[in-house]
Amino acid sequence: MIAILEQGLLLALAAMGVYISFRLVDLPDLTPDGSYIVGGAVAVVLLRSGHGWVSATLLAALAAGAAGFITASISTRFRIHTLLASIMVMTGLYSVAIRIMNAPNLPIPRFSTEKILSYEQVVGKTPLDDILGGVGNLQYESQGMKAVTVPFNNRADGHDLILIASLLLLISFLFWLFLRTELGTMLRGYGRNRFAVKVLGVNPNLFALMGLTVANFLVGLSGALFSMYSGFADVNMGTGMVVVCLASVILGEIIFGSREVAYGLFFPIVGAVVYQILLTLAMKYGYRIGFKPSDMKLLTAMFVVSVIAARRLKKSEVTV
Amino acid sequence: MIELERVTVIYNRGTLDEKVALKNVDLLVEEGQFVVIVGANGAGKSTLMKVVVGEVKPTFGVCRIMGQVLKEEKIFKCGSIVCQDPNLGIFPNLSIEENLMLARKKGFRGLSFGRVDPKAIELLRSCELGLEENLKKRASKLSGGQKQALAMVMAVSSNPKLLLLDEHTASLDPKSTEKIMELTDRINKTLGTTILMITHDMSIAEQYGDTVIVMEDGRIVARIDKSKQKVQASQLKSMIKSKLTATT
């Protein structure tokens, strides 16, 4: 159960980002599918190059935030719908992530492999040299890596849970505080009435930039922490992220109903944890009715569509 | 305050859909004046308002606000607008208090915790719609008249020099219309705000404003200065009608 909560809270960070873009500033943004990978890729590459986990996480989140800024810039500067602008950026980020990692995936070395000698280093030639009868090259260099320190121990003993929960609470509190300020209040107002922002003598585009940057910053943070938690970054790990996060937000909205606690910031947090629990249950018991783990994304997408459809049929307000 | 000099606006110029919305319009609104523009649909009232707020650039002629040709964002730094749709002037997802807090001043905001100007509360109280008693209430839960009253108070909270009203009572019931028009008049008289209002409601034009401008087919066909011409409210309606029939 602890591991489920840990994963749920890691997802909550990304879900909070999606909540900001889809609900708070009302700009549908698919960049998270790419910025999640960028967050993970930057964090892993920086860890491998000797950076501490704090600076690696922060820089990874900033890189993802920059992706959101680019989406908002394209959308506002060239008057392209955010959905289309974010598809472009998301597609581009796939290549960027591979460039960053110089591979489609990259592991985080949890223990040092510097002293582990390979077959080539011990024997002085490769197995191919044996077969083909070639002369080996004795200059094989050590391919080992230094161990990287990550904040998680993956023992499900509560250490990781406390760390993730504390970080999530801190971020939520700071963002809640920001939303109470004049700037934060105007950001909330922008989500429902851009014209009124303009009448107040403020350029509404600034809030599109701010909203999508912060949203993708949180998604990148989630991607970076998830990579450290799982021990790798993979170029496919962001696929379907927006849908999963949106499902979490919708679950949160269903649970809280009309009660908007802390400007709705609890929707994605509670929703993501519940989503993770439901996902685990579906994976554990779903095989009895023929489900495979690979069916989960389809089920998630169907869930999002059915909730939106149900709301539309009830003629309630849906902004997705 | 507002000066339009031989303004002509042609939409879709050079295409099959070409439409002349304004024809050689000259208009002068002086500081502190309350000018009402009346006219039927398609008379060019809305286009004139769009020219004033900088949304539409004149094809010919020039529009000056306080002696300068200003861009849209600059115009909203010194002026406010209230439109027909009550939801356009407010932030529906914020409380009345938060709406008033944001409206207190123009321009970008910082990370400070805002406060509501007591003058705005006072103005809200003068509407007698009970808004001041429910400051924590979400604006989306207000009635159309209450929303428009809030929008009006928000529009003048930052002490703008110019208030533009684009058929702001068109979607309200008669009782709410009366309250909103009383508030509009009070704003002009007590705060000295210059008001340019467009309406197609003749009875409003009869009762309120210093000057009534009659528009027809993209032109200004009459300018009736109530104080100079000492026009009685009852006479005004027939004057406007006669001006309109004279042009057709």
Q: Is A220 helix (H, G, I), strand (E, B) or coil?
A: helix
CA A28 to chain centre: 16
CA distance linking residue A268 with residue A249, whole number of Å? 4
Confidence of residue A114 (pLDDT cuts 50, 70, 90): low
Angle between helices A266-285 and A2-19 (to 10 degrees): 130
Q: Is A213 helix (H, G, I), strand (E, B) or coil?
A: helix
Using only C-alpha atoms, chain B has a radius of gyration, in whole angstroms, of: 18
**Cβ atoms of B79 and B162 closer than 8 Å:** yes
User: Chain A to chain B, count of Cβ pairs less than 8 Å apart?
Assistant: 77
- CB distance from A203 to chain B under 8 Å? yes
> Which residues from A are below 8 Å from B91, CB to CB?
188-189, 192-193, 196
> Which residues from A are below 8 Å from B106, CB to CB?
200-202
- CB distance from A206 to chain B under 8 Å? yes
Q: Please say if the pLDDT value at position A302 is more than 70.
A: yes
Q: Which of A247, A295, A289, A288 is nearest to A271 (CA)?
A: A247
CA distance linking residue B7 with residue B3, whole number of Å? 10
CA distance linking residue B141 with residue B139, whole number of Å? 5
Residues A137 and A172 in one domain: no
Residues A224 and A290 in one domain: yes
- CB distance from A191 to chain B under 8 Å? yes
Phi (first) and psi of residue B46, to 5 degrees? -65, -40
Q: Please say if the pLDDT value at position B15 is more than 70.
A: yes
- CB distance from B68 to chain A under 8 Å? no
> Which residue in A has a C-alpha nearest to residue B81's C-alpha?
A199
**Residue A319 included in any domain:** no
Residues A21 and A170 in one domain: yes
CA distance linking residue B81 with residue B76, whole number of Å? 8
The maximal CA–CA distance of chain B, rounded, in angstroms, is 59
The answer to whether the CB atoms of B91 and A193 lie below 8 A apart is: yes
Question: pLDDT tens across A53-111, in order?
Answer: 999 999 999 999 999 999 999 999 999 999 999 999 999 999 999 999 988 988 888 77
Residues A7 and A36 in one domain: yes
Residues A119 and A241 in one domain: no
Question: pLDDT tens across A240-295, in order?
Answer: 899 999 999 998 998 888 777 888 889 999 999 999 998 888 888 887 888 887 88
Interface confidence, given as ipTM, is 0.82
What is the rounded average pLDDT of the residues A191-218? 93
The amino acid at residue A160 is: D
**Residue A318 included in any domain:** no
Question: pLDDT tens across A122-156, in order?
Answer: 776 777 777 777 666 655 555 566 778 888 888 88
**Residue A186 included in any domain:** yes
- Find where tokens 């930039």 sit: A209
Question: pLDDT tens across A235-247, in order?
Answer: 999 888 999 999 9
Residues A125 and A202 in one domain: no
CA distance linking residue B36 with residue B225, whole number of Å? 10
Any residues with CB less than 8 A from the CB of B120 and at least 6 apart, and which? B100, B103, B104, B153, B154, B157
**Cβ atoms of A10 and A220 closer than 8 Å:** no
CA distance linking residue A61 with residue A213, whole number of Å? 10
Beta bridge partners of B38: B199, B214
- CB distance from B108 to chain A under 8 Å? yes
The amino acid at residue B161 is: K
Of A146, A164, A193, which residue is a domain's last?
A146
Residues A260 and A293 in one domain: yes
> Which residues from B are below 8 Å from A195, CB to CB?
88
Q: Please say if the pLDDT value at position A116 is more than 80.
A: no
Total structural domains within chain A: 2
User: Kindly report the CA angle at B203 between B239 and B6, in degrees rounded to 5?
Assistant: 60
B73, B109, B113 ranked by CB distance to A180: nearest: B113
**Cβ atoms of A149 and A228 closer than 8 Å:** no
Residues A134 and A278 in one domain: no
- Find where tokens 């943070």 sit: A221
The answer to whether the CB atoms of B80 and A199 lie below 8 A apart is: yes
The answer to whether the CB atoms of B102 and A186 lie below 8 A apart is: yes
Q: What pLDDT is recorded for position A320?
A: 46
CA distance linking residue B46 with residue B11, whole number of Å? 13
End-to-end CA distance of chain A: 32
> Which residues from A are below 8 Å from B111, CB to CB?
178, 181-184
> Which residue in A has a C-alpha nearest to residue B104's C-alpha?
A200
In angstroms, what separates the C-alpha of B154 from chain A's closest C-alpha? 9
- CB distance from B247 to chain A under 8 Å? no
Q: Helices in B104-173 by DSSP H: which ranges?
A: 118-126, 144-157
Name the residue range of residue B109's domain.
Answer: 2-247
> Which residues from B are below 8 Å from A200, CB to CB?
76, 102-103, 106-107, 158
**Cβ atoms of A23 and A16 closer than 8 Å:** no
User: A95: which 2 tokens?
Assistant: 């290549």
Of A128, A146, A164, which residue is a domain's last?
A146
**Residue A320 included in any domain:** no
End-to-end CA distance of chain B: 32
Name the residue range of residue A11's domain.
Answer: 2-111+147-313
Residues A94 and A139 in one domain: no
**Cβ atoms of A41 and A34 closer than 8 Å:** no
**Residue A203 included in any domain:** yes
Total structural domains within chain B: 1
